[in-house]
Amino acid sequence: MQFAPLFPYFYRILQPTFPNCLWGGDRNSKAIALTFDDGPHPQYTPQLLKVLDHYDIKASFFWLGACVNRSPEIAQAICDRGHWIGLHGYDHRSFPMLSPNDLKDSLEKTQTAIYNACNLLPEKVRDVRPPNGLFTPKTLKLFFEWNYRPVMWSVVPEDWVLPGVDTVVQRVLNQVQNGSMIVLHDGACGGQDVAATTKILIPQLLQQGSQFVTVDTLWQYTKTN
């Protein structure tokens, strides 16, 4: 069963319940963020980078530390292009299933992997998106204690179940609004179609007047509104 039609309703319930998470940007601005989870992947991520290069668009990537360690040269290529980097845990285990020590270790190991690959200092990589979008109030409390910034989403087309490129594109176009944060995947689940999806999606969103920004820019909007 696919849950994509339900995600907009989940968003409406969760967003006001957890206002300290980043769920999107300014509803009065055409600025939206294109974000990618679960990478970097040795095959799918380079294909995606070619599309982003073609349109000169800066995206945001939430990485798994294990994948960074497997493909450090791809991680460096992403950083060299000026894309924004965030954390997705070391190995995609759901954060509520981890003890506080294990959660801290997962995030710090990922930061170390990113530093080794990209020379990005840990204090520069503080945005965290929980795997599967699962967190608890306790998880958020720990994030704030450790000086991380929790990042969620507003448009989830469920590309990881491979419903087809056209379906993913249509789901995004149906849901996107001013300030939207779109989540796609360039990892093992969903990455097969990510380049083809993005190649169709970007020009259509540009035609609608959307402006692509990074997650860090969306945070700036929350400080000024």
Would you name the residues annotated as active-site residues? 37, 185
Q: What six digits make up the tokens of 78?
A: 């992403």
- Name the phi and psi angles at 51, rounded to 5: -70, -45
Rounded distance between C-alpha atoms, residue 98 and residue 124, angstroms: 24
Q: What six digits make up the tokens of 67?
A: 């994948």
Q: Are 66 and 91 in contact (CB under 8 A)?
A: yes
Count CA atoms closer than 13 A to 11's CA, side-chain side.
22
Name the 3-class secondary structure at 34.
strand
Q: Are 96 and 134 in contact (CB under 8 A)?
A: yes
Rounded distance between C-alpha atoms, residue 203 and residue 221, angstroms: 24
Rounded distance between C-alpha atoms, residue 187 and residue 192, angstroms: 8
Based on its alpha-carbon atoms, the radius of gyration of the chain, rounded to whole angstroms, reads 16
Rounded distance between C-alpha atoms, residue 150 and residue 134, angstroms: 11
Among 188, 132, 191, 199, CA closest to 166: 199
